[in-house]
Amino acid sequence: MSPTPSGRLQGRRILITGAASGIGRGTAELFAAEGAALTLLDCNREGLAEIARETRGLSIEADVTQEASVARAVEQGAAAMGGIDGVVNAAGIVIHGSVLDVGVADWRLVLDVNLTGTYIVVRCCLPWLAKAPFATIVNIASGQGLLPNTPNMTASDTGSCRRISAVDPGQ
């Protein structure tokens, strides 16, 4: 049972990345119910259009790994909302597979979306956030770091490496 919305975000102007699915989508739904004006970013055009209709948010297709794309989206969002005083970085991807199965290009893509994308979004939003009396940045990261031995999770894959023990130099 969901609590009755309180309107506690009434008047807030929030930019949410990864808004087309998962935690980003859930955040957009909650924040809209609480009265926030929303700018929703994602590279998933269909999912983004759907959540924008549901939340009455402004949908902007953007790639968080591309600074020009994010800068354009931030400017559009700020213009539509009359500024930005909150950011939720929920965009993130995961590639399943062992270290031996996932190539360097895919590894870099995960870092670009999950880490560099967060940096780019914050960097582009800071001029607007600096003008807000109560600016907020929320960066959402994977819980995978808490479960480092999950099989087929590249960043923490210990299963694909055999244990190497020290060799006695006298042997």
Over the stretch 98-120, which tens digit does the pLDDT of each residue have?
A: 888 889 999 999 999 999 999 99
How many domains, in total, are found in the chain? Answer: 1
**Looking at the whole model, is its pTM more than 0.75?**
yes
- Give a yes or no: residue 5 inside a domain: no
Q: Both tokens of residue 79? A: 């213009």
- Give a yes or no: residue 65 inside a domain: yes
Instruction: Check residue 150 and give its pLDDT.
Output: 62
The answer to whether the CB of 112 falls within 8 A of the CB of 65 is yes
- Give a yes or no: residue 171 inside a domain: no
Q: Which residues of the chain have pLDDT under 50?
A: 1, 156-171
- Give a yes or no: residue 100 inside a domain: yes
Instruction: Check residue 170 and give its pLDDT.
Output: 44
Give φ, ψ of 4 to 5 degrees. Answer: -70, 130
- Give a yes or no: residue 17 inside a domain: yes
Instruction: Check residue 1 and give its pLDDT.
Output: 47
| Domain enclosing residue 112, as ranges | 13-142+149-156
CATH number at residue 119: 3.40.50.720
